[in-house]
Chains A and B, each alone.
Chain A
């Protein structure tokens, strides 16, 4: 008999039979043709073996995530600090990364919004200007982007003031994606 992979005497190719079987049932010719039937029985066996092997449960080591995160934690660089207004004589700062987490959470709390990039642009030293914010968001399909952006702007401004004691300057919000419900 022909080794699988070659063209069969009937003209059919074993690769085509394989793809037919993957997509459902073989065509009319293959159902009636002895060459195709012989090749199909080999293919079915190989497919059965493959499905059996693929169905075997695989469980990664329980500590895999912990091992990865331990390495990641060591490698992360400290984020720049943002000065916060505080009592006289005490310098109070928050890391940009921590501030971003607070502001993203405020954005996420707006219905249908997922905050993505959150970049604070610190005010120039020695000026009374406020830190600016650039935020990108994804909005759920069906929610008007403009009103969502407005709600996010209000939410992050309020969170910055209430949770960080930070008065934000200009807030740029860019809607970069739409996600499904």
Chain B
């Protein structure tokens, strides 16, 4: 996509503002981004809220990796994660005026992304499958040695085990144990209490440990 110059054309009558062409060298937008990249989140959020596209683009560039990573780890599907990340950012742009504490932008953005990822998970994966018995049996059984022989490592075994957790447990595991957030931060993102987060992790651990037992 052609980057927009920071000084857009709002000139009347037809006073043409020279638009950069490919190969023109550094563009107005590039300079704007280079400047924005050094700014703190609060400054960028305030500017973006007032329609400064370069400021919002700097936020997207700053957070695209963690937002995509969190979505990918919850959904375990690269295409779904890319869609979720894109929706999270465009929703953030639409709702920027709702942020009260600009410095808490990251937590607010992760909350949008996680909510979207969980809702995508619920729509693509029914909570009560048609063949509930077979699924329950598959879930209760630990993967056998053959399955582990096929797996290319411990990380793959855990990825498989994580897919058997409830969406909420998985989100807790991803945010707390993989992203290294505190119980309080995870609770804020998931609209719940730190005790509820502890409870979900408490229930997830034995299940994950049981599935990794063949590796001991």
Q: Report which A residues bind B (CB closer than 8 A).
A: 3-6, 14-15, 18, 41-43, 45-46, 48-50, 52-54, 56, 58-61, 64-73, 75-79, 81, 90-98, 100-102, 104-105, 108, 114-119, 136, 138, 177, 179
Contacts and interface: CB of A to CB of B under 8 A. Distances in A.
Contacts, number: 174
A60 B158 contact: no
Nearest to B32: A101
Given A45-B215, A49-B212, A60-B64, A101 B7 contact: yes
Chain B interface helix/strand/loop/mixed: helix
A79 B4 CA distance: 15
B191 interface: no
Given A66-B1, A69-B56, 18 more contacts: A15-B198, A46-B158, A49-B208, A50-B173, A50-B177, A60-B65, A60-B68, A60-B85, A65-B57, A72-B89, A95-B10, A96-B10, A97-B51, A98-B7, A105-B35, A108-B35, A114-B39, A116-B47
A60 B82 contact: yes
B154 A48 contact: yes
12 contacts: A4-B209, A41-B216, A50-B178, A68-B64, A72-B56, A73-B53, A75-B93, A91-B13, A95-B8, A97-B51, A101-B6, A138-B40
Contact of B12 (A92, A98, A114): A92
Contacts of B13: 90-91
A46 B46 contact: no
A49 B1 contact: no
B84 to A, nearest CB: 11
A91 B154 contact: no
B202 A138 contact: no
Nearest to B82: A61
